[in-house]
Structure 1
């Protein structure tokens, strides 16, 4: 009798413990969550990360704290997240820099863009545009190509980062323009010199170019994405304007966790992001900073990351850029 009673007690305890274990597994988050970014305060990625952190706090009931770890083209941040525990308390909001561009520009990275991360969801695109000094006698991308071909060695494009150098040089080579690439320490001075006439064209994010477009000193010719941007639907894509198939160089942002992040964590964060990005006030804030909200589920985002890694790699080769 005593033994039977003891076994019944064990069974009762086990059955009673099971729901508690299930509840424990579903309790994430029960403490603050860190969102690491590889760029400094005030950058576009930083602003979006802080907006998403507040939305996640409201949705999931715990603080989401943004940690800036800039440096080495965001390699430091990506490497740190890749090595973090996959318990859901370290996430990363990053861009095509870490997952599309760096793998083709550096021979050795402290992370693998596909194997070391769990894609959670897309957040926003920052459209790139092909733009010229407004005094240049061209109004379309094809006219720019023709002008450059007729003035080989006399037309220059400016760039401040590899992310904008790659599409500019790819167009230059694919269309045999013969333009000269002029490097700058960052994008703002490159943009300033195109506006001032020291260089003739560049690829730049729409948000940075907007004041100069509105003043009439800069003219936008096309977007570098595969589809037209809702922020400037009148602009054709580079593919449409120049007949370049599969030209899709987008500046995207999205959320990741370390590899093998638990599915319940992925689902919670992904669902909260998609709901936040559907809210008109959140969408308006993102659009106001020159970006397009691009909510997506983990599978769709994962496919985007894989596709963009291949596309950027192809265009790095076309641009003749050698990895360091």
Structure 2
């Protein structure tokens, strides 16, 4: 009888949801893509659910500060995590002694946005295609180098995947963020980098950087002449940063599905799609089950790359 009462209580809670504000913890500081994407969802989600969705930025710990906060919260749908993929499926493979697990600590809710990477070289180099870069690296035997925003970043791990696929020996130079990496790329201290389009587009447009390939499933509208990785002969280099929502593990399925259904509607609106395009991104909705499987698949994929490249945090 007690068990039945418990089930009835859970059902009642789900049917009544939401009846108070929802806290959406964001694993990054205000102003970046993760924060912008979270706010693109939060405002229309609040209207749809008829309650406040409060964005609470908790940067730090490679996503761990926000993730730990949400993983320890009551599993009732009123505390959610908005997470960048690099923090969800790469950082946990490299960081030791963290107090949360990317799979067991959460109930997946929805993936909402994806952003491909662009591989660019400084324009003072002669390369116009990915094939030219690969051939030159083979001839120079590892003299070319690349910048990333830090050890274990998606830029780092993705370029190491390219090294493994193309049998190149591009040498890694880590920086503390994309900004410093771009400064040295523009200054000629490094040869190439791979990151999301927005910070690169102005430098491509003024001729300082040459784009070789985009790692998304289709060409960018802003760079229609730049081939996809698949078109360039590297289909396994299809890589995107993605931005997803999670709830604490054990959150009732009815509550998770209710939130996910509204998120899906939001990602289908013209307003959301236009904002996504302005970020060099695209809507990529996945529901709870699909996001759960995708999270596991991404952990497996990047785990193999990290092991093969022998990447360790300093």
Q: TM-score, normalised by structure 2?
A: 0.90
Does 2:54 match 1:88? Answer: no
- Three-state SS of the structure 2 residue aligned to 1:246 is helix
| Distance in 2 separating the partners of 1:20 and 1:311 | 40
Q: Report how far residue 155 of structure 1 moved.
A: 1.6
Q: Report how far residue 292 of structure 1 moved.
A: 1.0
Counterpart for residue 12 of structure 1: none
Counterpart for residue 236 of structure 1: 227
Does 2:266 match 1:276? Answer: yes
Does 2:214 match 1:223? Answer: yes
Does 2:28 match 1:39? Answer: yes
Q: Which runs of 5+ in 2 are unaligned?
A: 1-7
Does 2:68 match 1:79? Answer: yes
1:123-272 maps to which residues of 2 (within 5 A)? 123-161=112-150, 162-225=153-216, 227-229=217-219, 231=221, 232=223, 234-243=225-234, 246-272=236-262
**Of the two, which has the highest radius of gyration?**
1
- Three-state SS of the structure 2 residue aligned to 1:150 is helix
Residues 230 and 292 in structure 1, CA contact (< 8 A), matched pair in contact too: no
Residues 248 and 311 in structure 1, CA contact (< 8 A), matched pair in contact too: no
**Deviations 1:248-294 (CA, angstroms, capped at 9, x unpaired):** 43210011100111112111111111111111012101211221111
Q: Report how far residue 154 of structure 1 moved.
A: 3.0
- Three-state SS of the structure 2 residue aligned to 1:306 is helix
Q: TM-score, normalised by structure 1?
A: 0.87
| Distance in 2 separating the partners of 1:95 and 1:66 | 15
Counterpart for residue 4 of structure 1: none
Aligned residues: 305
Q: Give the direction of change, closer, same or farther, for the CA distance of 1:79–1:233 in structure 2 (3 Å limit).
A: farther
Counterpart selection for 1:59 from 37, 48, 63: 48
Q: Report how far residue 34 of structure 1 moved.
A: 0.2
Residues 249 and 311 in structure 1, CA contact (< 8 A), matched pair in contact too: no
**Deviations 1:271-320 (CA, angstroms, capped at 9, x unpaired):** 11111111101210121122111122222222221211111112212322
Counterpart for residue 14 of structure 1: none
- Three-state SS of the structure 1 residue aligned to 2:202 is helix
| Distance in 2 separating the partners of 1:259 and 1:21 | 15
Q: Which runs of 5+ in 1 are unaligned?
A: 1-18
Residues 53 and 64 in structure 1, CA contact (< 8 A), matched pair in contact too: yes
| Distance in 1 separating the partners of 2:296 and 2:261 | 21
RMSD of aligned C-alpha atoms? Answer: 2.2
Counterpart for residue 113 of structure 1: 102
Question: Which of 206-215 and 22-31 deviates more?
Answer: 22-31
Residues 104 and 249 in structure 2, CA contact (< 8 A), matched pair in contact too: yes
Q: Report how far residue 123 of structure 1 moved.
A: 0.6
Residues 108 and 247 in structure 2, CA contact (< 8 A), matched pair in contact too: yes
1:6-17 maps to which residues of 2 (within 5 A)? none
- Three-state SS of the structure 1 residue aligned to 2:186 is helix
| Distance in 1 separating the partners of 2:110 and 2:243 | 9
